[in-house]
Amino acid sequence: MDLPATVRFRSGADAAADRVAGATPERFALIGFDDQIDPALTLRAERDVEYLDLGELATVAEARQVILWWHRRGRPVFVIFPAGEAPGSPWPDLILEPVQPGVGLLRVVEPTGGDAGLRPQPDFWRRVGSGLPTE
C-alpha cells in the first residue's frame, strides 16, 4: 500500500470512529466483525469500551450471554455492521434498535413490552462471518 492509499484508508477509519463516537456514551460495549469494529476500537484510548468480535465465536448465539452480562452491569451495548445492513437480531429475546442506520450502528436492548426493534433475518446471519452459524 502506498502513502496516498494509506492516508485515504486512515482518513476513512478516523471518520468511522468519529461517527461511532458521536452516537455512543463514554462507557459502552461494541459487537461486530473485526473489519467493522476495528476503527471504532480506537475510542478505547479515551473511553471505557469493551468489545466482542463475532468472528472469534463458534456461533452468534454465544454472544447472548456476554450481552446480558453487560446489560446487568449497566453497560449499553451496540452492534455495528456495514452501512446499509440492518439484519435484525439473531437473539430472539433481544432487539436491535437503529442508532445510525447509514453507518450500521444499532443498539442491543431487551424488550420492555414493545416490539419496535428489528426482527431476526436468519439469511443475513447465515451469510456473514464466513458462514458463522446462528445456533
- In the chain, domain spans: 16-127
Between CA 26 and CA 96, with CA 18 as vertex, the angle to 5 degrees is: 65
Cα atoms in the 13 Å half-sphere on the side-chain side of 113:
0
What percent of the chain clears pLDDT 70, i.e. is strictly above it? 64
- Measure the CA–CA gap between 57 and 71, rounded to whole angstroms: 20
Residue 71: pLDDT above 90? Answer: yes
pLDDT at 135: 43
Q: What is the DSSP letter of 56?
A: G
pLDDT at 84: 62
pTM of the model: 0.73
Tell me: the pLDDT tens digits for 87-122? 678 888 898 888 876 678 889 998 765 444 444 444
- pLDDT-derived band of residue 134, with 50, 70 and 90 as boundaries? very low
- Measure the CA–CA gap between 45 and 61, rounded to whole angstroms: 29
- Measure the CA–CA gap between 10 and 134, rounded to whole angstroms: 33
Q: What is the DSSP letter of 120?
A: P
- pLDDT-derived band of residue 38, with 50, 70 and 90 as boundaries? confident
- Measure the CA–CA gap between 65 and 79, rounded to whole angstroms: 15
pLDDT at 4: 61
pLDDT at 24: 86
Residue 6: pLDDT above 80? Answer: no
pLDDT at 97: 87
